[in-house]
Structure 1
Amino acid sequence: MKKSFKQGLVIGGIAALSALVIKRYKQAGDSSEGFSNPAALDRQPSIDAKRDETEVGLTQLDSIHRADWQANGFPQTHAELERLEKEDNQ
């Protein structure tokens, strides 16, 4: 992949992740469990499960990790990983 495209992915990923963290922090409000206790986030269902069917069954912690992977362009399947490797080799 081209260097400028990779840089764009990184910058876009950081911006998207930052926006997500701010959104989740505001939604958590003043609760004592907030982001200081990841175990509590791993017990609570994803807040986006009602709007996004790919979030159904995920905890809030899983949802945060998933958002991070997507923001940084990590492939979600083995087939996608193989396709990206073939593109890099060409």
Structure 2
Amino acid sequence: MRATFKTGVILGGLAVVGTIAYQQYQQRKTEAEDLAHRPSVDAKQDPQEVGLTQLDSIQRADWQANGFPQTHAELERLEQEEDQ
């Protein structure tokens, strides 16, 4: 009887941990999807943010911080500078 009790406690604990992990996963997934649909919070201060979603804004900030070119024209200009 003790072995079945211990097994029940262990399985119950695993079920609780699994349920909590799944709920947290669903919450993170929902938050990420929301970012892709909500407008950028910086659109009022920065004209280049107008029309972007929060996810786009985050990615744009990442690109700027890492020095990636923002437009095709800028990319072509950088390629021409490398060739010279």
Query: Which band: TM-score by shorter chain?
Result: 0.5 to 0.7
Q: Which residue pairs with 1:62 in the alignment?
A: 56
Q: Which has the higher helix share?
A: 2
Runs of 4 or more above 3 Å deviation? 33-36
Q: Percent identity?
A: 67
Structure 2 regions of 5+ residues with no counterpart? Answer: 1-26
Please name the residue that 2:73 is paired with. 79
What RMSD in Å do the two structures reach over aligned CA positions? 2.1
Contact 1:46/1:57 (8 A) holds in 2: yes
C-alpha distance in structure 1 between counterparts of 2:29 and 2:41, whole Å:
14
Pick the structure with greater CA Rg: 2
Aligned length: 58
Higher relative contact order (CA 8 A, sep 6+): 1
